[in-house]
Structure 1
């Protein structure tokens, strides 16, 4: 039972963190660590009781992992080509293609290191695998917890329904992606209204350099044209980023109702990062999502994950540097002068 203590501690910390505020990134990491430690404890127990079965299971897991990486690389490359064809060659649209190429490069490095078995290649491959494993662990944590967060029910009252902008087409037209957010906001407003409240619907988005009017105004026009009461719409028309969307909307809501509660509406791939940003900016509310086209989802999720990595760049940079230094130390340790060169092929 001692082997399960780390898992129990992490899962307990996860439960406490989720009860205090479900919008924490640490919740995702603690949940992931709890599951990993539990799996490791189970594997150690199995390897101790039935060694041969444990070895067979380890080999099977390695084979499945290799096949999974190959399949994922192919999927990302195919999705990347689709994104470029349908959405253009912007950096955000190239993320899935870039991730697929990175996986192919990692597989090529591993294959070359196993074939040549030179000290430098083996250490480089081990370091690359460690970095990839770290990123993969964080991504799985993000994906699983984001899915869990999106399925949690919101039972509190809400005084506002805030819709985050996402850009206009042709300078004045609401695109399908943004229309999905607005339609989802109307549904949520109707649900809250059935409970006896009449929340204000707050459209949030400023005017970009290629736009003829602020996004929030075009969003409001879209709602009014479809029969939504104009007197229940408020506009926040200064923001240009998600953080500004939430910061400026928070200021408007606090001014009118200091103890407000709100529901923030965005697309499903953006829900968790918007929730994390809402927490960091002091917004009193949770986030829900509108559906997104299937082909757009993988690249969009990767973009959200990269944005979260950058939001915590100091922590991630420190851990990346630690892994790299570990690789350099291993390379030095296995050098000819150390007497351990044979461990990594000389």
Structure 2
């Protein structure tokens, strides 16, 4: 009963958090805690079942969890190999491969701690297990809430559509990833144009060291080729990061008046982190995602999760250190 009560409390806090601002990572954690305590309540209810059925459930759940963990590791490793083949061996493209290998190492460490009589090994396994559990819980919260947030649609007219930049290819060409953002943004523009309220398009992206022109310039050309009137396009060509994209675009939007509404367009994997940064930048608007190739999503999603953790770096490092110490002490004493 207490577990169900806590699940209800966290669900109510989640609803209040969403009502206040949908773009908070705390909403994801509250939803995750509600689901966690609901699961705990359901497990506690197993005692009411017949003994044979209880034994079967208690056998199936750990087995399913273990198989799911192994399957996830294999999938991530396979996806990592695909990423390297398709996108090259840059560090950002190795994240899914690294995550898959890390899960396999964790499984091996847990088996070793169980089968070998070593306090040091049990202490190491205990510390690593608690930290991995914490990060895994946050990752599931991130995935679940990012999925829900990504289902939002634009119901009200907006004054601006901000399209976030990405790297160019061949120095001045818009790659498919960025083209999809521009196409999604222009589709929104056309919907409002048909209602007689065409918004202004802001393309945001500076010039990288390997680029011949600012990303915003190439994006503006691509938008014009799609059919967007050039006079409705504004270029923000100084930014080098998502934080700068939104901060500098905010300045452009505020020149037209303080009471504006906007939509920020990026790719699906980047939506939730952009939403968190949008809130922090004081930009009043939601974030929408454009289609992303399937093979690209796992590594990109992990990268976004790590970036969100970094936004709350002090808190997460402190919690991880505390859990590592507690897990090590428990493993040593066992």
Which range, TM-score by smaller chain? over 0.9
Question: Hey, what does 2:257 align to over in structure 1?
Answer: 257
Determine if the alignment matches structure 1 residue 301 to structure 2 residue 311: no
Instruction: Please say which of residues 229-238 and 119-128 is displaced more in the overlay.
Output: 119-128
- Give unpaired runs (5+ residues) of structure 2: none
Question: Hey, what does 1:266 align to over in structure 2?
Answer: 266
Determine if the alignment matches structure 1 residue 101 to structure 2 residue 86: no
Deviations 1:178-231 (A, max 9, x none): 001001111111112223311001100011111111110110011112322111
| TM-score, length basis structure 1 | 0.93
Question: Hey, what does 1:183 align to over in structure 2?
Answer: 183
- Give unpaired runs (5+ residues) of structure 1: 335-343
Question: Hey, what does 1:6 align to over in structure 2?
Answer: 6
C-alpha RMSD of the superposition? 1.4
Asked if the contact 2:130/2:324 (under 8 Å) is kept, the reply is: no
Deviation at 1:52, TM superposition (A): 5.0
Question: Hey, what does 1:340 align to over in structure 2?
Answer: none
Asked if the contact 1:77/1:100 (under 8 Å) is kept, the reply is: yes
Question: Hey, what does 2:84 align to over in structure 1?
Answer: 84
SS in 1 for 2:161: strand
Deviations 1:145-186 (A, max 9, x none): 001001022212200000000011111111111001001111
Deviation at 1:90, TM superposition (A): 1.0
In 1, distance between residues paired with 2:201 and 2:75? Answer: 39
Deviations 1:46-80 (A, max 9, x none): 22555553343222111011101111111111110
Question: Hey, what does 2:162 align to over in structure 1?
Answer: 162
In 1, distance between residues paired with 2:22 and 2:266? Answer: 17
In 2, distance between residues paired with 1:111 and 1:5? Answer: 36
Pairwise mapping of residues 37-52 of structure 1 onto structure 2 (< 5 A)?
A: 37-47=37-47, 50=50
Aligned residues, how many?
A: 334
SS in 1 for 2:255: helix
SS in 2 for 1:295: helix
Which structure would you say has the larger RCO, counting Cα contacts within 8 Å and 6 or more residues apart? 2
Asked if the contact 2:122/2:328 (under 8 Å) is kept, the reply is: no
Asked if the contact 1:47/1:55 (under 8 Å) is kept, the reply is: no
Deviations 1:273-308 (A, max 9, x none): 000000000011000011011111110000000101
